[in-house]
Amino acid sequence: MEHGGHRDGFAAKLGMWLFLFTEILLFGGLFLLYAVYLRRYPAEFAMGGRQLDWMLGTANSVILLTSSLCAAMGVTALQRDESRRAVGLLCATILCAAGFLAIKYFEWSAKIGHGVYPGSERLKSGPAGESIFFSLYYMTTGIHGLHVIIGAGLLAWISVRVGFGKIPADNLILLENGTLYWHLVDLVWIFIFPLYYLVL
């Protein structure tokens, strides 16, 4: 079905970017709410931010940035026909994703253990702005975490294709698009991190 009978790599990339725009706007809705409620409850947001562990947040930032580096290097490796190295780098990316999710898991469960979760008695009896802060925190990091899981799954599937693939050109397009998605996950976190963990 491809135009002129050969694969149109740019079309695939254009389509992927368009899809990434929808992701940016999806998170954009949450950032919109964040902006509005930050203006209304600055003190409560600072109070909420202080309850989050900025060390863990920073650790996760470093992990995601490193994962993005590995993903980007994976593309370079495949472009240089070093497909074994590409697979290795992708595995490193996925490992980072797992580390990110593990830290996220401990963060969430500690918070939930302290009775801080949407609709909890503690938040209901506390100041309204704090409840809003944590509801937004859970929604944003929850949806982001879902994207991490999807992205890691996608990269795992792509690394299998690259490892056993016969058509290097097709795999390169696939890998480029998969890593684009992964970088978006990183990009969103770059904004989540200061807004939630560092607004003291």
Partner 1 sequence: MDKAATAQNSFWNDTGRSGLTAWIFSTDHKRIGLLYLYSTTGFFLAGVILGLILRIELMAPGRTIMDPRTYNALFTLHGVTMIFLFILPGFPGAFGNLVMPIQIGASDVAFPRLNLLSWWLYMAGALIALSSLFTGGGPPDTGWTFYVPFSTRTGTNVTLAVFGVFVIGFSAILTGMNFITTIHRLRAKGMTWGRLPLFTWSLYATAWVQILATPILAITLLLVMAERLLGTGLFDPGRGGDPLMYQHLFWIYSHPAVYIMILPAMGAISDIIPVFSRKPVFGYKMIAFSSVAIAAAGSLVWGHHMFTSGMSDRAVLVFSLLTFIVAIPSAIKVFNWVSTLYKGSISLEAPMLFALSFILLFSIGGLAGLILGAAATDVHVHDTQFVVGHFHYVMFGGTGFAFFAAMHYWLPKFFGRRYREKPAIIAWGLMFTGFNILYFSMKILGMRGMPRRYYDYLPEFADLNLAATVGSWILALGVAMMFVNLVSGLLRGEPFTGNPWGGATLEWSVATPPPTENFAEEPVVTHGPYDFTAAGRR
Partner 2 sequence: MDGQRHTIIGYGTLTAVWVALLLLTALTVGITRLELGGYRVLGALVVASLKGGLVIAFFMQMKSEGGLLRLFLLIAVVTLAIFIGFTFFDVLYR
Q: Does 139 bind partner 1 (CB under 8 A)?
A: yes
Cα separation of 123 and 130, whole Å? 7
Q: How many CB atoms lie within 10 A of CB 84?
A: 10
Query: If contact means CB under 5 to 8 A according to the sort of partner, which of partner 2, partner 1, none does residue 108 touch?
Result: none
Residues that bind partner 2 (CB under 8 A): 6, 8-10, 13-14, 17-18, 21, 24-25, 28-29, 31-32, 35-36, 38-40, 54, 58, 61-62, 65-66, 68-69, 71-73, 75-76, 79-80, 172, 176, 179-180, 183, 186-187, 190-191, 193-195, 198-200
By CB under 8 A, is residue 153 in contact with partner 1? no
Residues with Cβ within 8 Å of residue 59, at least 6 apart in sequence: 103
Helix extents (H) in 41-167: 42-51, 54-79, 83-113, 121-125, 128-164
CB nearer to partner 1: pick between 8 and 81 = 8
- 121 in contact with partner 1 (CB under 8 A): no
Among partner 1, partner 2, none, residue 69 binds (CB under 5-8 Å by kind): partner 2
Are the C-beta atoms of 46 and 199 separated by less than 8 Å? yes
CB of 193 to partner 2, least distance (A): 7
Contact 123, 134 (CB under 8 A): yes
Window 42-71: residues binding partner 1 (CB under 8 A): none
Angstrom distance (rounded) from CA 12 to CA 196: 34
At how many degrees (to 10) do helices 128-164 and 168-192 cross?
160
| 105 counts as binding partner 1 under rule CB under 8 A | no
Residue 139 CA, chain-centre distance (Å), reads 13
The one-letter amino acid at 19: F
| 40 lies in the binding site for partner 1 (CB under 8 A) | yes
DSSP state of 1: -
Query: Under the criterion CB under 8 A, does residue 131 sit at the interface with partner 1?
Result: yes
Supply the minimum distance, in Å, between the C-beta of residue 136 and partner 1: 7
* Interface residue list for partner 1 (CB under 8 A): 1, 3-4, 8, 10-11, 14-15, 18-19, 21-30, 32-33, 36-37, 40-41, 118-119, 124, 127-129, 131-132, 135-136, 138-139, 143
